[in-house]
Chains A and B, each alone.
Chain A
Amino acid sequence: MVNVPSEELKTEIKILIIKTLGISDIVPSDVDDEKPLFGGGNKLTLDSVDALEIIMALQRNYSVRIADQNLARNIVRSINSIAEFISSEQHKSNG
């Protein structure tokens, strides 16, 4: 069964990213859910250091573990991919 992440979760993730990176000129509604967070195209554009910081924030906030960098790269590709991962991890721990 595919886990569809809620809009609330996506907004929560955007707030977490903005807070973690200390960004002051972007609000959650500015950030596109599907556009990539790396290499431009989204209002929120990240580099690899930001990615590591976000991974650690996600681990702390949602009690998940993202050990492998290849997996991490796929997870932090977009807001949707982060939300899908968190949602499926939450589903696993609840199920």
Chain B
Amino acid sequence: MIIEKFKHKMAAHCESGTITSLINHAGLRISEPLVFGISSGLFFGYFHKMKSFPFPTFIVRNKPGQMRVNITKRLGVKFNEYSFHNIDDGTRKLDELLQKNIPTAAQVDFFYLDYVPSWERVHINVHFMVILGKEDSNYIISDSYFPELIKLKSTSLENSRFAGGNMSPKGFIFNVSYIPTTIDYEDAIIKGIKKVCFNMLHIPMPFLGVKGIRMFAKKIVEWPDLARDTEHLSHEIMKINILLEDQGTGGAGFRFIYATFLQEAADILGKPELKYLSVELMKIGDGWRELSLFAAKAGKNRDLGPGKLKELSGLIYDRADAEEKFFTKLGNAVKRS
């Protein structure tokens, strides 16, 4: 049994891609960049010392699940959401929804998805995908990172839905319950942009937004003191590239997908200045990508002396300066809207 009508599509990011697919299936045509932008997906946060992270790290998007919340708030689309303590209950509910032909998204640990090549599998508890059906002991999966529909063993799906650890999914599944008949896209876009500008410029925490990028730039030269040895340090420095480019970020830490959103927003709002800002953000994204490659090569070549880290720090400071100017202009562009 499989929900035939569902259109599988690759996406830049698993969460915005999954939400977009479900909303499209429910009858509302909307692009992934619009979902990402309206839900204020873009962000930056640097965490130098935190209980849940053994080494400093950073994020480039809002927290997992927040996109769904913001889409409900701004577009009026509603979702049914279910979490479970018991694996059997979680499996039973999923099967029941599939029997009713309801495509259902799941939060999973990426590591247990046996269709992913083994060298790419890492424990990330916040991967999202849509489940479309069940054939014998396999589920049919629409995973937006892959070009085709995929089969996943039911035991693997169970393991991935009920994985332990930080942000464990607890069998979480969701689907669309309501699509409003009218939507004020202009209002939703403006609110989405204003929230991103606030988060990047005015959020009163020194480790978030542009201030967070500056803290990252300042603190990265201290990373050798925190690493066990050169191997560990090189691994952590190379992770900068993974966080910016490899984990479904839409490219350059979500800056490219947000730039695409601004292009669409310019047409909907009739504000051509957003097109210029989109081009500017693409250039800022190119800078993040240069930085990403610089870090990856330095890590790969174990070239991590103080001079190299200082250079990397300078590249990060440049991103902070560029984003401060950019988000100030973006905020001004929608100020009186």
Task: Give A residues with C-beta under 8 Å from B.
Answer: 39, 47-49, 52-53, 56, 65-72, 74
Let me know if B257 is at the binding interface, CB within 8 A. Answer: yes
Flag if B145 contacts A70 (CB, 8 Å): yes
Contact (Cβ within 8 A) A52 B251 = no
Q: How far is the CA of A71 from the CA of B251 in the complex (A)?
A: 10
Chain B residue, CB-CB nearest to A69: B245
Interface code B10-22, partner A: CB below 8 Å = 1, 0 otherwise? 1110000000000
Residue of B257, B296, B300 with highest tally of chain A CB at under 10 A: B296
Whether A67 contacts B293 by the Cβ 8 Å rule is no
Question: In whole angstroms, how far apart are the Cα atoms of A39 and B238 in the complex?
Answer: 19
With A67-B256, A68-B250, A68-B257: A52-B145 Cβ-Cβ less than 8 Å = no
- Nearest-neighbour CB distance to chain A for B136, whole angstroms, equals 29
A65-B282, A69-B245, A70-B145 given; A52·B293 CB < 8 A = yes
Q: Is the CB of A70 within 8 A of B245?
A: no
> Hey, which chain A residues are within 8 Å of B41, CB to CB?
none
Give which listed residue, A47, A56, A65, A74, contacts B293 with CB less than 8 A.
A56
Report chain B residues within 8 Å CB of A68: 12, 250-251, 256-257
The answer to whether B245 and A52 have CB atoms under 8 Å apart is: yes
Residues of B close to A74: CB separation below 8 A: 147
B12 contact set on A, CB distance < 8 A = 67-70
When C-beta atoms are compared, the residue in chain A nearest to B293 turns out to be A52
Cβ A52 vs Cβ B256 within 8 A? no
Q: Does residue B285 face the partner (Cβ distance < 8 Å to A)?
A: yes
Which residues of the partner chain B approach A53 to less than 8 Å between Cβ atoms?
293, 297
Interface, chain B (partner A; CB < 8 A): 10-12, 117, 119, 144-145, 147, 238, 241, 245-246, 248-252, 256-257, 260, 282, 285, 289-290, 292-293, 296-297, 300
Who on chain A is nearest to B252 by CB? A67
Q: List 29 A-B contacts (CB under 8 A).
A: A48-B241, A48-B296, A49-B238, A49-B297, A49-B300, A52-B289, A52-B292, A52-B296, A53-B293, A53-B297, A56-B289, A56-B290, A56-B293, A65-B256, A67-B12, A67-B250, A67-B252, A67-B260, A68-B12, A68-B257, A69-B246, A69-B249, A69-B251, A70-B12, A70-B144, A70-B145, A71-B10, A72-B251, A74-B147
CB-nearest residue of chain B relative to A55?
B289
Q: Assess the A70–B282 pair: CB atoms within 8 A.
A: no
A74 CA to B292 CA, complexed, in Å? 20
CB-CB under 8 A from A48, the residues of chain B are: 241, 246, 296
User: Can you name 11 extra interface pairs (CB under 8 A) apart from A52-B296, A67-B260, A69-B251?
Assistant: A48-B241, A48-B246, A48-B296, A49-B238, A52-B241, A52-B293, A53-B293, A56-B289, A67-B250, A67-B252, A71-B10
Complex Cα spacing A47 to B119, Å: 11
Q: Which of A39, A71, A74 has the most CB of B within 10 A?
A: A71
Q: When the two chains form the complex, which single residue of A39, A49, A67 contacts B251, counting CB atoms closer than 8 Å?
A: A67
Closest 4 CB pairs of A and B: A67-B256, A67-B251, A49-B296, A68-B12
Min CB–CB distance A7 → chain B (angstroms): 26
- Give every chain A residue within 8 A of B300 (Cβ-Cβ): 47, 49
Residue from the set A65, A68, A71 with the largest chain B CB neighbour count within 10 Å: A68
Q: B residues within 8 A CB of A49?
A: 238, 241, 293, 296-297, 300
A53–B296 CA distance with the chains assembled, in angstroms: 10
User: Could you tell me if B248 and A70 are in contact, using CB atoms closer than 8 angstroms?
Assistant: yes
> Which residues of A have CB within 8 Å of B251?
66-69, 72
Chain A residue at minimal CB-CB distance from B12: A68
Closest residue on chain A to residue B251 by CB atoms: A67
Query: In the complex, what residues of A have CB within 8 A of residue B11's CB?
Result: 70
Nearest CB in chain B: distance from A68 CB, A: 4
What residues on B are CB-neighbors of A47 within 8 Å?
300
A64 vs chain B, min Cβ distance (A): 13
| Whole-angstrom distance between the Cβ of A59 and the nearest chain B Cβ | 8
- CA distance in complex: A5, B310 (Å): 43
